[in-house]
Amino acid sequence: MKKDFLEEIKDPLALVREGQVVAANEAFRLLFHLEGLPVELRRLFEHYPADYGLFETRGKRLDGSLFEAEAVLLPFQDGQKQLLVRDVSQRRATEKMWLQAERLTAMGKLAGEIAHEINNPLGGILLYANLLREDLPEASPLLLHVDKIIKLATRCRIIAKALLNFGRPEDTLEEWVDLNQVVRDMFSLIEDHRLFKAVTVRWELAETLPFVQGNRSQLEQLTLNLIINAGEALAGQGHLVLRTYYQSREEVVVLEVEDDGPGIPPEIREKIFEPFFTTKKGGKGTGLGLAICHGIVKRHGGTIEVESQPGRTLFRVKLPKIHYE
Ligand SMILES: Nc1ncnc2c1ncn2[C@@H]1O[C@H](COP(=O)(O)OP(=O)(O)O)[C@@H](O)[C@H]1O
Ligand SMILES: [Mg+2]
């Protein structure tokens, strides 16, 4: 009778007596990969309460793997307790992704606002430095210093400009954009650069591709940033794959930029979309490329993800296909 009652419940449910699971339904046995009963509660959970109530902990399967668990322990008959468990790993992972995306958006917005505030005084610095430069006699030893000021301020200007691209609410997202054309145009823009001289390109553009709706110049910047990153990772030699296709299940147009460079170490993978995160030394990187890509993709209602291992890195952008009205 007890067994039947347990099996009627679809969620993982067990009966506990004196710290031991003495009966369990199929869902529970599957969740923990249980073979036989009874089994000690402490073999199944990192923590569990002495009392009745809700608890959150990690579940331990018999093979040693862990999952995020939510559980509730309730009174039952004959000195037994009922234990209902749920695997919430998936939900936790989704929550974490959302938090990460929100954080990036907030950082991007802040960076854009700061850039806006900095841009005007920076213009002033450059203006006065240039005036000073004109007024100095040609042989002045101070010219060197003024040139330094101009050079450094110009670099700040470039960074501020890039940052401003984060939040551009005035840009409309109403163009019909052919992503294939964007990829071809952007590659032809940089193919003569020394970075790409010895790089072999494999073109895998879909023969027909639905339009995406958006802002062409933003999508160009997105594509260019990804190609440049791949080129920088390849450091002059290797393979670059430029791929587009339509994925009908999600109704998205997909752009993939793949390289066989060194890859992105797992410990920094969560950081690469943050503004100012760069591994490029000596002022070579601004750390803004991917942050800007993230902002652009988000504004277009799409997603950007990365797969990477040593010898292969793939950035995948999904953008909703146009909806004709
Ligand atoms: N294709 C790639 N292969 C390896 N690492 C990459 C690749 N693309 C980006 N990265 C890593 O992500 C970091 C951030 O990229 P990005 O935001 O474009 O800034 P930047 O290129 O200025 O460093 C890079 O410094 C690099 O460590
Ligand atoms: Mg970059």
Question: 277 and 225 in one domain?
Answer: yes
- Contact yes or no for 296/288 (Cβ under 8 A): no
Residue 169 lies in a domain: no
CA 194-272-189 angle, 5° bins: 30
Positions of the chain with pLDDT lower than 70, given as ranges: 1-3, 165-170, 325
The CATH code of the domain that includes 134 is 1.10.287
Question: 261 and 139 in one domain?
Answer: no
Report the number of distinct structural domains present in the chain.
3
Query: Taking each helix axis from N to C terminus, what angle separates 289-299 and 89-135, rounded to the nearest 10 degrees?
Result: 120
- Contact yes or no for 143/151 (Cβ under 8 A): no
Question: 239 and 129 in one domain?
Answer: no
**Single residue among 38, 54, 87 that ends a domain in this structure:** 87
Question: 239 and 130 in one domain?
Answer: no
Alpha helices (H) in the chain, listed in sequence order: 2-8, 26-32, 41-44, 89-135, 142-164, 179-190, 216-234, 289-299
Q: Which atom of ligand 1 is nearest to the CA of 285?
A: 22
Specify the residue with its C-alpha closest to ligand 1, atom 24.
278
Ligand 1 pocket check: which of 104, 155, 232 to mutate, most ligand atoms within 8 Å of Cβ? 232
Q: Which atom of ligand 1 is nearest to the CA of 230?
A: 1
Please give the distance, rounded to the nearest whole angstrom, from the Cα atom of residue 174 to the centre of ligand 2: 27
Q: How many residues does the chain have?
A: 325
**Single residue among 69, 87, 105 that ends a domain in this structure:** 87
Q: Provide the β-strand partners of residue 240.
A: 201, 259
Question: 230 and 147 in one domain?
Answer: no
Please give the distance, rounded to the nearest whole angstrom, from the Cα atom of residue 278 to the centre of ligand 2: 8
**pLDDT value of residue 166:** 63
Task: Determine if ligand 1 sits within 6 Å of the CB of residue 167.
Answer: no
**Single residue among 164, 188, 218 that ends a domain in this structure:** 164
Residue 147 lies in a domain: yes
Question: 26 and 100 in one domain?
Answer: no
Burial 189-202 (b: 16+ CB within 10 A, else e): eeeeeebbeebeee
**pLDDT value of residue 113:** 82
Question: 100 and 72 in one domain?
Answer: no
**pLDDT value of residue 26:** 94
What mean pLDDT is reported for the chain?
91
Task: Determine if ligand 1 sits within 6 Å of the CB of residue 285.
Answer: yes
**pLDDT value of residue 127:** 94
Six token digits for residue 30: 């599957």
Please give the distance, rounded to the nearest whole angstrom, from the Cα atom of residue 279 to the centre of ligand 2: 10
Distance of CA 205 to the CA centre of its chain: 24
Residue 283 lies in a domain: yes
Please give the distance, rounded to the nearest whole angstrom, from the Cα atom of residue 293 to the centre of ligand 2: 10
Residues 6+ apart with CB under 8 A from 106: none
Task: Determine if ligand 1 sits within 6 Å of the CB of residue 291.
Answer: yes
Residue 170 lies in a domain: no
Structural domain for 159, as ranges:
93-164
Residue 235 lies in a domain: yes
Question: 292 and 220 in one domain?
Answer: yes
- Give backbone dihedrals phi and psi of 275, rounded to 5 degrees, phi first: -60, 140
Ligand 1 pocket check: which of 237, 264, 292 to mutate, most ligand atoms within 8 Å of Cβ? 264
